[in-house]
Amino acid sequence: MTYTVNGRTFDEEPHPGQCLRTFVRSLGHHGVKKGCDAGDCGACTVWLDGDPVHSCITPAFRAEGREVTTIEGLGSPDDLHPVQRQFRDAPGFQCGFCTAGMIMTSATFTDAQKADLPRALKGNLCRCTGYRAIEDAVNGVAAIEVAEPGRAVGTSVGAPAATDVVTGRARFTMDTEIEGLLHMKVLHSPHAHARIVSIDRTAALAVPGVHRVYTWKDVPRKLYTTAIHTDHLVDPDDTYILDDTVRFAGQRVVAVVADTVGAAEEGCRRVVVEYDVLPAVFDPEEAMADGAPQLHGSDDPFVQDPVRNILLELHGEVGDVEAGFAEADVIHEGTYFTPRVQHAHLETHGSIAWMEDGRLHVRTSSQSPSIAKVKLAHLFDLRPDQLRVFCERVGGAFGGKQEVITEDLVALATLDTRRPVSLEFTREEEFTTASPRHPMKLTVKLGARADGTLTAFQVRNVSNTGAYGNHGGETLFAAGAAISTYRCLNKKFDAYSVYTNTVPSGALRGYGMTQPAFAVESAITELAVALGIDPVELRRRNIVRPGDSLVAIDDGPDDVVFGEDGLGQCIDLVDAALGRTGNGQVPGEDWLVGVGTACGLHETAPPTEHISEAWATLGDDGVYELAVGTVEFGEGTSTAHVQIAATQLGTTPSRVRLVQSDTDRTGFDTGAFASAGLFVAGNAVSQASEALRTRILAFAAAHTGVDVASCSMDDDAVLCDGTRVPLTDLLDAARPRGIRFTEARKAYGSPRSVVSNAHGFRIAVHRVTGEIRILDSVQATDAGVIINPVQVRGQIEGGVAQGIGFVLTENFHVDDNGVMTNPNLRNYRIPTFADIPRTEVLLVDSSDSVGPMRAKGMAECCINPVAPALANALEDATGVRFRELPLTPERIYSRIGENRSVPTT
């Protein structure tokens, strides 16, 4: 059979039933991505005789004798296709995993299709951007700027990898070919709770191509936590690589290693497992009740109350809430529920391990290769010098890759077989075995005087950590900060992280704050309605101000620096924007219109220890090299780090070469989460670059015999009292003396500053169907000095889009047996282009006292006020309060029928 791919002819025979995606990737065209293998996301889009098709659902044999074009064949770095150039210059991407498919689709658009992008792009999903940047790219709207030497900060420079991303040459985790690669697949438990009686692997080992079948007996019997933090003691060591007890439907039971994915899958099907099914519990309130099934043993030192399935409980009170309620003229109390939410990053989890020079190498899709290395060294008794963990570009994360959930199994298999081994999650495995957002049930009770002054603030939070406690305690701590947004002398917080027989919960953008933000900001608006005070005005009267203590669980000291009234400015900006004539037109008389706002605070780094080390070097070629361990997955830290270094060194970003996320080539880095990629790693980059500048200037002054005060950086040279000395001349002078121009600095996540933001919606609700249309969306953020304006806008737009999905479309259905029933993108329903409005982004003019270049990390918190702002707008439109997410048309319809009075529930 003959195939032509990007103008080159191949005489190849695809495997029976093979799809075009895997076929063209086997020929080396890795720009074709796997996001779903179900035709839902469009990441695999290629042209077949010039027409875009989803290659994952196109049989390979249908391309015989036809012309296949992938992103690599559309244009090259030196000769970009116009649409590739437009996506680079918009920029129309963040992580870049969906970009090849977006470009291959949009490069075929007619003018009519460009005029109807909601329809034209319905087959291509993006989880990062919020789609505005993609719309700009399709329409040729450019935003990328060129920075002058030493002035990169504050400029919308492009990402270092931009050209590679738009040409499909940027390498993600699975974009490699390794000789002799074996493939791993995992057999998952069909039961929510069971003890494994026996495992018969005889038939599986008889499958041609199967090399190994691993059970719980074949792995180190060491407890660990999959969660990633510098201090592993903040998370419970309650997990084994493979276990003889399963605690949720989807837990891994057996791992099969074979020559092909198909053989490994067949091996999994032939394993015979005998289970002793145990009673299961899925609701955390029931799990805490007397007589509930116990998930973890009573001798487990990491479980606070194993009899009641409580991983951790927190209790704190400041003042006297009972006295505060006695003072109140109005008391509001309500219970709010937020469900599981999946990250749905388009690149699924995956890792590849191999042996090289007697060392284990692990290439992985992770937010922290440094911590992954620490965990693997612990599990397999390896010295640090025996192990390397590194990342290529990562295709989205949002907290979902702040776990070690594939690296351990491939490391196990490679150490055993001494062969390269790959494990790549399917989309179904992402939904059923990876860690979604914690479901939380929060009861909020507020007391206020008639003038709106809060007298008492009480929250009870029950968080469902699932079968294991990864992130269960830390998100519970984070949730306590939700009550710090408002001043009140009397506060009380009671919280429980509870084990249930459901998929383990984990980290997701907003990290423990998104759920209580929905509850608290909804309750504040309900209190305002009861008081007869405008909800925005009630917020103005009660928000914390500079000088106030950010009291949450207790009134003890902390390391948070809070010195600006950014929150008040955000509220005012949003209120003013919503007061202007709306951009969106009310669809018709059957639509009810409402306006809602919400706000919040977020700390710029996690309260646990966070460390980052950066190395800045002047290379022998006169180009700077910056080495930092932070992973790039669309959050833009690579661009920001280069901008910071270029500004400190008086040069342009093009003269800074970046090395990142490789434990062999960079220093320790806790990871890119909680905005620490900018705040902590950015500080390390700034300090290392500043130190390098000082070293270069001192040498240049001595070399030229002038005072150092008369020397300054000048792009590729140093100006010494008016004389321009090229950096290469300084290198030539330093080399014979054994002098190297290199500096390293470490930064820590303390002290921390506070990011403020507010969001507002103007919506229309159909009085019959319950459909919601967003007419206007606006978010204001206090992000300090803006490193890269277009990136900041993109992060906010992406966070808002995720928040809208969280509120309106995404629904994690679990049946009575604890099994997810919609484990695919089509039925889970992350937002498409048609679902997301343009959000007006407003930035407070401010600076930070402790952030790099006086900037704050802000990509984490922009999601937090979205859900309550929309719920508040819905109540304003309908007069009905909804306290449970998602706000589906069915749920709304059942409550707002005309001439019916339904009490708030």
Task: Note the pLDDT of residue 606.
Answer: 86
- Kindly report the number of other CB atoms within 10 A of residue 709's CB atom: 9
- Is residue 108 exposed (0-12), middle (13-18) or buried (19+ Cβ within 10 Å)? middle
Strands 611-618 and 624-628, by their bridges, are antiparallel
- Under the banding of pLDDT at 50, 70 and 90, the label for residue 97 is very high
Task: Note the pLDDT of residue 673.
Answer: 92
Task: Note the pLDDT of residue 902.
Answer: 40
Decide: pTM greater than 0.85.
yes
pLDDT (average), residues 55-66: 96
Residue 308 DSSP class: G
212-221, 577-586, 743-752, 773-782: segment of lowest average pLDDT: 577-586
Give the whole-number percent of the chain exceeding pLDDT 90. 91
* Per-residue model confidence as pLDDT tens digits over 830-844: 999 999 999 999 999
* Per-residue model confidence as pLDDT tens digits over 463-495: 999 999 999 999 999 998 888 999 999 999 999
Residue with tokens 């993108």: 825
pLDDT (average), residues 253-281: 98
Tokens standing for residue 142: 């450019």
- Under the banding of pLDDT at 50, 70 and 90, the label for residue 427 is very high
pLDDT (average), residues 199-212: 98
* Per-residue model confidence as pLDDT tens digits over 236-251: 999 999 999 999 999 9
Whole-number Å distance between alpha carbons of 24 and 168: 13
* Per-residue model confidence as pLDDT tens digits over 119-153: 999 999 999 999 999 999 999 999 999 999 999 99
Whole-number Å distance between alpha carbons of 587 and 146: 42
Task: Note the pLDDT of residue 605.
Answer: 87
CA-closest candidate to residue 220, choices 237, 232, 197: 237
CA-closest candidate to residue 838, choices 183, 279, 135, 44: 135
- Under the banding of pLDDT at 50, 70 and 90, the label for residue 583 is low
* Per-residue model confidence as pLDDT tens digits over 596-614: 999 999 988 888 889 999 9
Mean pLDDT of the chain: 95
Whole-number Å distance between alpha carbons of 123 and 41: 6
- Under the banding of pLDDT at 50, 70 and 90, the label for residue 900 is very low
Examine the pLDDT at 894 and tell me if it is beyond 90.
Answer: no
* Per-residue model confidence as pLDDT tens digits over 847-888: 998 999 999 999 999 999 999 999 999 999 999 999 999 999
Residue 131 DSSP class: S
42-46, 424-428, 749-753: segment of lowest average pLDDT: 749-753
Whole-number Å distance between alpha carbons of 536 and 524: 10
